[in-house]
Amino acid sequence: MAEQIFETESLCPECLNKIPAVYERDNNKVYLKKACKDHGDYRVLVWSDANQYLSWSEQSVHAQKLRGGYGVKRGCPFDCGLCRDHEGRTCTAVLEITYRCNMECRVCFADTKKASYEPPLNKVMEMYRAAYQNGGHCSIQLSGGEPTLRKDLADILKMGKGLGFTHIQVNTNGIKIAQSKEYLQSLKDAGADLIYLQFDGTEDEIYKEIRGRSMWEIKQRAVENCEKVGIGIILVPTIIRKINDHNIGDIIEFAKEHMPTVKGVHFQPVSFFGRFPGRVPKDEDRMNLSDIIFELQKQTKGEISSDYIVPRKRYDPHCAFSSLFYLTEQGKLRALTKENQNMLLDNKTDFAKKANEFTNAHWRMPKGSGNKTSRPEMGSFIDRLRNYSLTVTGMGFQDVWNIDIGRLKGCCVHVVTADNRVAPLCAFHVTSIGGERLYKNG
């Protein structure tokens, strides 16, 4: 029999109206159950291990509410700006600088109906400033579409650096940086600190299924060029059940083989919005973060254990996890994190600042690091920690089926919109069954 855990609010998948919802435990799994008076009842699996879910819940705190911000009229998620009800500031600002793309991935959640959207440089300047107003010199991700299709991408990078942003990452499918090492060098010279590389696995069949074309050779060349240029990479797999969930361990092995250039792996279980899936999802189609952790432990034979996975401290902890390892001389990962290490943090903690400090420390090449041929050999323990650390992280984006308004209020990954407002990424990209959006660019 289902046991109620706590109440919250969500959205109706049909009309996008705000509706009451409840989390419940059933057969050691956690579900979100909600009802719309016009469109009926919905129940979706959100966590596959109820004991872990409850344990993580005990470790989280709410951040302090924003000072200032936009006024509250309809309430979350309809007043994003950020509004005064939002808890905490921006840790990563996503600037969508084009909706053009050289691929047609079926899992894309960008508003591809707006392919002509491409803000001019003066507009990008305003977007940078909006990010600063909400998060100071937070981490910046240049995204799209495919940002490398912009001929002025280097100018956009230089602009951000000129405004004082210390960490700027380029979100890319890797096609253009695989084609030209010189182009990649120009991005690094302009201020790119990290390549945030779409990387769904180590088998071409995976890419044919998810991306609609062969990509494995391109991914390898992109990584090789990053090694030659000396710029760090985060591998970003979109994990889909029965397509690439078997390949999680091999992705970790690939990351180990390409350290120190590969700085981390950031797992994203697929979310059901944008182009994907074009139908009502079934629970057996879903991967959640607890499933990712289970497969990590299983496929790495305990090298990565749930004991080393740290839930996000800022509410909601089920949004994301992080972990940090270093690679021994014997080629094994050794943990530098423990699951309960954030227990003593409270709501006075500047969570956005801590997230940015983590990014700056572990998601970039150390100063003095060169290309792969000159990478540091076995030196002191401190040098090895500095050069051969690997983050293993995960984030589960909310879709219209599992969106939790309480969790949304604590989000620190924000999209800067075309009108210079700021919205949580999940709110910005959520789509109804019919493809309607709460927010649009262009």
Does 428 reside within a domain?
no
Looking at residue 373, what is its pLDDT?
42
Looking at residue 281, what is its pLDDT?
87
Nearest-angstrom CA–CA distance, 193 and 99: 22
The upper half-sphere exposure of residue 153, i.e. CA atoms within 13 Å in the direction of its Cβ, equals 30
What are the C-alpha distances in Å from 327 to residues 223, 243, 389, 419?
19, 29, 6, 45
The enclosing domain of 246 has a CATH number of 3.20.20.70
Percentages of the chain per state (helix, strand, coil), in multiples of 5? 30, 25, 45
Looking at residue 361, what is its pLDDT?
67
Which residues neighbour 393 within 8 Å (Cβ) at sequence distance 6 or greater? 264, 265, 266, 267, 320, 321, 322, 323
Looking at residue 23, what is its pLDDT?
98
Residuewise pLDDT in 10s, the chain (442 residues): 799 999 999 999 999 999 999 999 999 999 999 999 999 999 999 999 999 999 999 887 777 777 778 889 999 999 999 999 998 889 999 999 999 999 999 888 776 566 678 999 999 999 999 999 988 999 999 999 999 999 999 999 999 999 999 999 999 999 999 999 999 999 999 999 999 999 999 999 999 999 999 999 999 999 999 999 999 999 999 999 999 999 999 999 999 999 999 999 999 999 988 766 556 789 999 999 999 999 999 999 999 999 999 998 777 899 999 999 999 989 999 999 988 766 555 555 565 566 667 666 666 676 655 444 444 444 577 778 888 999 999 999 999 999 999 999 999 999 999 899 999 999 999 999 988 999 988 6
Q: Which of 368, 405, 372, 404 has its CA nearest to residue 383?
A: 368
Looking at residue 58, what is its pLDDT?
87
57: part of which helix (H) or strand (E)?
helix 50-57
Which residues neighbour 357 within 8 Å (Cβ) at sequence distance 6 or greater? none
Q: 3-class DSSP state for residue 122?
A: helix
Does 349 reside within a domain?
yes
Looking at residue 374, what is its pLDDT?
44
Instruction: Identify the domain containing residue 359 by its residue range.
Output: 92-395
Does 410 reside within a domain?
no
Looking at residue 435, what is its pLDDT?
87
The pTM assigned to this predicted structure is 0.92
Nearest-angstrom CA–CA distance, 369 and 379: 14
**Structure-token match 């699996």, residue found:** 45
Does 99 reside within a domain?
yes
Looking at residue 212, what is its pLDDT?
95
Which tokens sit at 47?
A: 């966590």
Does 345 reside within a domain?
yes
Work out the burial of residue 221: count CB atoms within 10 Å of its CB; fewer than 13 is exposed, 13-18 middle, 19 or more buried. Answer: middle
Nearest-angstrom CA–CA distance, 221 and 262: 13
Listed in order, strand segments (DSSP E) in 223-319 are 232-236, 238-239, 262-269, 310-311
Q: Which of 428, 442, 437 has its CA nearest to residue 81?
A: 428
Nearest-angstrom CA–CA distance, 254 and 156: 31
Looking at residue 66, what is its pLDDT?
74
Does 143 reside within a domain?
yes
Does 129 reside within a domain?
yes
Contact yes or no for 212/103 (Cβ under 8 A): yes
- Domains held by the chain: number: 1
Cis before 316 (ω within 30): yes
23: part of which helix (H) or strand (E)?
strand 18-26
Which residues neighbour 4 within 8 Å (Cβ) at sequence distance 6 or greater? 22, 23, 24, 25
Does 296 reside within a domain?
yes
Looking at residue 375, what is its pLDDT?
47
Q: What is the DSSP string of 336-386?
A: ---TTTTTT--TTS-HHHHHHHHHHHHSSPPTT---GGG---S--HHHHHH
Nearest-angstrom CA–CA distance, 305 and 294: 8
Strand-pair category, 168-172 with 139-143: parallel
Nearest-angstrom CA–CA distance, 78 and 130: 19
